[in-house]
Amino acid sequence: MSDGEDPTANADGDETVVRRDRFAGGPARSFLSSLADDERIFAADLAVDRAHVVMLAEQGIVEAETVGEILAALDEVEAAGHAALSDGEDVHEAIESAVISRVGPEGGKMHTARSRNDEVAACIRYRLREDALALLSTLVGAREQLLAVAREERETVMPGYTHLQPAQPTTVAHWALSYEQALQRDTGRLLDAYERINQNPLGAAAFAGTPFDVDRERTAELLGFDSVAENSMDASATRDFLVETTSAVATLATTLSSLAEDVVVMASKGHVELDDDYSSTSSIMPQKKNPDTLELVRGRTGDATAGLNGLLTNLKGQPRAYNRDLQRAGRHAWDAIDSATESVEVAAGAVATADWPEGTLSAAASEGFATATGVADLLAMAGVPFRTAHEVVAEAAADLDADEDAPDYEALSAVADDVLGDSLSQFVERDAVERALDPTESVAMRDSRGGPAPAAVAEQVSGAKEVLTAHRETVEARSDAVEHATDRRETEVSRYV
């Protein structure tokens, strides 16, 4: 994917043929070629070619008969497939050569009023848009699965941890919603990036525009781009849309890695059992059920973060306009987005099909005096300064025997006498304390907005569903717009073929 430093081809196409013959040999040809990697944008290039030559015909730049022959040749190239292309520097040159071999020198007119610089920029945007929409669709489905888990497990109490130490009881629903919320933001970042992906660079030529009377808005319409990338130098040179998208993907991959780590740890404690479809066993230890898929989700985060780092390193220090370094830029984004798309599907599927053992989780929610904060909150709500209440509960925790998970009412009352100088019953009723010591009741107490109490979770599910619906409609609308542009392009092509 390079420009070869060629000026815009003239109307008879001879310049393109002469230039390529001159630079056709040499020991570095295979090193320069990106043809194999360009298979990913083969279909995109054909779409860009068709939109461009239709516009050339409509503008009277190339006669309709010649455009018809070029478009018919492009159909043949598409039918033959990428593998049938002859050797070349890139897919753009190879497709043009294939057209010329079918049409003759007049086929070179397809490259009138453009450079490979704006051509490849358009192809990358066109294909990246497709990949972004596929990832967004997968994300919407994953979030729907997490919401289903939240609705089903709204009252399933589980232990919550900070620093991997027992902290406070929560619920499976609250945990699942925490990741749905994160995936909301990941979706939003990709939707924002999409706006800057979906701009048309065609008509920018090498970087300094073209003297031909091109209609950049028309090619944008035929390709489904929302707008035109205005400045011709920026349009051909920039790859910041790749950076923005890959950055969003790397952030998403980090979200998934955290989710995967949680599930791997929970599985090791018996707090969740993955479906067999998302597990494997040991080659030597038949009792093992390993959360391998989640470990791979965690491991694949490196694909996305490495992609972002590789892309930024590639772009760092490049002067403006086209440089051959850019030939290596796209692969970093492709690797990242492919890896993340698969990871989203697997991670969400693993959670959605998992079994959450209520008895085991409830028992674990009591471990390590995880209800301590609830007792301290009770005292604070009764007027005891929170730090003093914290001291009461901390001393009671320090007095626990090794086999005890939590102090009883009497133990707490004894400490209260020492710290507060009065009986615990003077501040809170015994029943209230004993409820606070129970994980289920402790969860029910925390019904503030965003909390784990069932009522609070229900509100979160409702709000998340509204956002999900809006995101789904946006993704569908953008997908529909692309499909409509494809239909328009095919209709226009049929006028000439």
Which positions are catalytic? 163, 282
171: β partners = 157
**Token pair for residue 136?**
């967004």
| Cβ contact 167:280 at 8 Å | no
Contact 2, 322 (CB under 8 A): yes
Using CA atoms, how far apart are residues 400 and 81, in angstroms rounded to an integer?
73
The 10 Å Cβ neighbour count of residue 84 is 11
Let me know: does 437 contact 371? Beta carbons within 8 Å.
Answer: yes
CA atoms within 13 A on the CB side of 77: 31
